Structure 1
Amino acid sequence: MNGLVERFLAPEVWQTSREPLTGEERAELREAIAALRHPMVIEELCAMAATHPRADVRLTVLEGVEPFMATLPAAREFLVWLLGDDEDFVVFSAAKIAGRHRIGEAYEELLHITGPAEAGLLRSTKPVGIGAAVVAKAMDAILGAEDRAARLQTEREHTRTGQLPDGCALDEHWDYDPPNLPRPVPEDMVLVPGGDFVVGIGIDDVVHPLYDVDDAVPRQSRHLPDFLIDRYPVTNADYDAWAGGPLAAEHALCHPDEPEDKDHRRGIVGDARFGPDHPATGVDWYDAYAYLAHIGKRLPTELEWEKAARGENGSLYPWGDDFDPEALRWFGASFGQARSLEHWRDTLSTFDENTPPVTTVPVGTHPKNVSSYGVADLVGNCWEWTDTNFFTRDRMKPMISGRPRTEWATAEETSVVIRGGAWTSMREQVTAYFRGKDLFTDRHNEIGFRGVIR
């Protein structure tokens, strides 16, 4: 973050000065924010501004990040936060921006303010002034309707399906083509083109009943813009070079909620079975976040991961719909066929420094394990961290700093979606639709990660 932005947001400035920002200062701050561009810096800025005590600063930062609404979830999250602001002029501006960009995430928050169109048409909702009018206009724009009467059917459809119309700028439903992806595509990344794709499964697709997959039902169509994703998971060699260097120790772009002075080095670095060209396991969610932030990437959302793995048509595995035990590293390759869930658990309990002699394998070992886009190793070998909360399906928002572990260890907010299965996983777990979960502070030798740019 540059010095000009820090000067406006620094506590010593707003604590000593109560004068409102001048028009020139606001313009200067907006221009400085627009020049930042790095996703992690924008995310940090939005987090700082959300709790800033000066309403004019909160509003100016929102105006400054408006150009990033299409591409950065943090900017949209900040906007939604400000829809609950105490100052009406902040809420009015946030609502107008939400309508201008058709920010789907804002819909539910705006609905709390005005109520559904049906209520307003059939009975008095006692609007009290400007706020109701501004919010109503914003909701019309988000839903692509001319007025409250025109959006009635759209709102009814949303109540029935939970989906908003095409064109709404939701993480998972937004047809804007981001203009700032690196061109040409970096050699170690793959372009996943924007468009509709299939997520989830139908009840008739459930062919392996040992595991509960109800959370993957129903099969449905979603939309994502272009994004880039790493061709392979991050390797131990690349991760260890960063974790043992000065950037990891400085924590410049680490998640603001991670434990103070966190040691990012892998705890299993001494286990020779996890070689340099194997996926980087033994890292928690904070570790993965920090590594990717320092190279200008982030963790994929669950939907980004699923699209990269299943293609547009929703195949059950990256290579198609038929399981191939030779196409990936899984429990069957590590230990042999599991006869039952109990046998699987008993076998895994034999793990020690010698058993099994082979755990993960080098990335790219299985050439068939490639999706239609060219993304490799998406199932088997190691689970992969995402940036999606398992229960809410929203982006992860860790808030454990300063809280005792007993308070957050079992909280829903700390359960993150992991995808793809690992060298310890049964056949049921290595499909491209299976949703695993884990505590985001755990460091397992079964969970790795890869990055995206969007």
Structure 2
Amino acid sequence: MTAIQEVGVSVACLLLLQGCPQPVASVCPAGMVPLEGRGGPFCMHAYEVHIEGQLGDADQGVDFPNGSTKVSLSARAGQEPSKGVSWYQAYAACAEAGWHLCTSAEWEDACAGPTGRAWPTLDGAYASGRCAVSHPPQYHKVPLSPSGAFPDCRTPEGVYDLLGNLWEWTDPGQRDAEGRPVIDKRGAAHYSAEPQGCTYSSVGSHDPAFNGTIGFRCCVGR
């Protein structure tokens, strides 16, 4: 299309008030990327979450630091992701920010894609230098790294460190006979030496108050 044709189209749009290109607005909160899932479009933090402030008891969720009404969450390159967070704390932190703890299905769709692509391949994810995992020559020797320190450990959509660095709490949407949440952790950690892919699940493997080397991300529908 020539410049004259483009001008003509713009004038026609103004006169007819139809068919006009609309400005593209941000579809996700800051720090999140837009994704397509089997349950519909959603947004996910591009990096594992860093929490500013104090956490409450592992089985009670999050305290509000300095009398604030919301915890301060951020997910940026160069930050060390928060670990030692229980499932309850992660769930509450996302909820207080107006989002939700990513569901297991959302996490899997972000990692593998809604059509089930193999990203990264198990061999690729555990290749030396690609993701923060302890590939065979370095069993349990790779330290926790700042988010985004492994630039090749990203999905085509721009989500980093889904495999490696920290395990991540997710919500499978299940409850036990007593009404307590049944938890799921996804991905792998910096010390992991056995390949865990996008579809690896560990539903019910921990009590929701467990607060080991596990982090999380938040999601929100769009």
CA contact (8 A) 1:190 1:374 kept: yes
Query: d(CA) in 2 for partners of 1:428 and 1:320?
Result: 10
The counterpart of 1:284, out of the listed 82, 86, 106, is 86
**Counterpart Cα distance in 2 of 1:185 and 1:414:** 27
Q: Flag the 1:435–1:241 CA change in 2: closer, same or farther, 3 A.
A: same
Give the match for residue 340 of structure 1: none
Question: Which of the residues 95, 105, 127 maps onto 1:293?
Answer: 95
Hey, what does 2:210 align to over in structure 1? 442
TM-score, L = length of structure 1: 0.36
**What letter is aligned with 2:200?**
F
Secondary structure of the structure 2 residue equivalent to 1:331: coil
Q: Work out whether residues 284 and 443 of structure 1, in 8 Å CA contact, stay in contact via their aligned partners in 2.
A: yes
Among candidates 231, 240, 251, match of residue 52 of structure 2:
240
1:302 maps onto 2:117 in alignment: no
1:329 equivalenced with 2:132 (yes/no): yes
Q: List gaps (5 residues or longer) in structure 1.
A: 1-181, 195-222, 255-275, 338-347, 349-355, 389-394, 402-412
2:28 to 173, 185, 188: 185
How many residue pairs align between the two structures?
A: 182
In structure 2, distance between residues paired with 1:226 and 1:278: 28
Q: What is the one-letter code of the residue matched to 2:210?
A: D
**Richer in helix (by share):** 1
Q: In the alignment, is residue 382 of structure 1 matched against residue 179 of structure 2?
A: no
The CA deviation at 1:321 is 6.1
Contact 1:232 1:364 in 2 (8 A): yes
Separation in 2, partners of 1:284, 1:399: 20
| Distance change in 2, residues 1:321/1:428 (3 Å) | closer
1:370-427 CA-to-partner distances (Å, cap 9, x unmatched) read 1122111101000000011xxxxxx1447869xxxxxxxxxxx554111001012123
Higher RCO (C-alpha 8 Å, min separation 6): 2
More strand by share: 2
Contact 2:133 2:190 in 1 (8 A): yes
Across the aligned residues of Structure 1 and Structure 2, the Cα RMSD in angstroms comes to 3.2
- Are 1:433 and 2:199 an aligned pair? yes
- Structure 1: how far apart are the matches of 2:184 and 2:41? 22
Contact 1:418 1:435 in 2 (8 A): yes
1:230 pairs with one of 45, 48, 51: 45
Q: How far apart are 1:228 and its partner, in Å?
A: 0.7
Q: 2:45 & 2:54 partners in 1: Cα distance?
A: 17
Supply the distance in 1 between the matched residues of 2:188 and 2:92 (Cα, whole angstroms): 23
> Conserved in 1, the CA contact under 8 Å of 2:132 and 2:161?
no
* 1:117-196 matches, cutoff 5 A: 183-194=26-37
Relative to 1, partners in 2 of residues 1:311 and 1:398: Cα closer, same or farther, differing over 3 Å?
Answer: same
What is the CA–CA distance in structure 1 between the aligned matches of 2:88 and 2:176, rounded to whole Å? 9
Note the residue ranges of structure 2 that are not aligned, 5 or more in a row. Answer: 1-24, 57-61, 72-77
Aligned equivalents of 1:310 and 1:398: distance in 2?
Answer: 28
- Residue 315 of structure 1 contacts residue 321 of structure 1 at CA under 8 Å; is this kept in 2? no
| Structure 1 residue 246: Cα displacement | 6.3
| CA 399–240 in structure 1, closer or farther in 2 if over 3 Å, else same | farther
Contact 2:131 2:164 (C-alpha < 8 Å) held by counterparts: yes
Q: Pick the structure with greater CA Rg.
A: 1
**CA distance in structure 1 between the partners assigned to 2:92 and 2:67 by the alignment:** 11
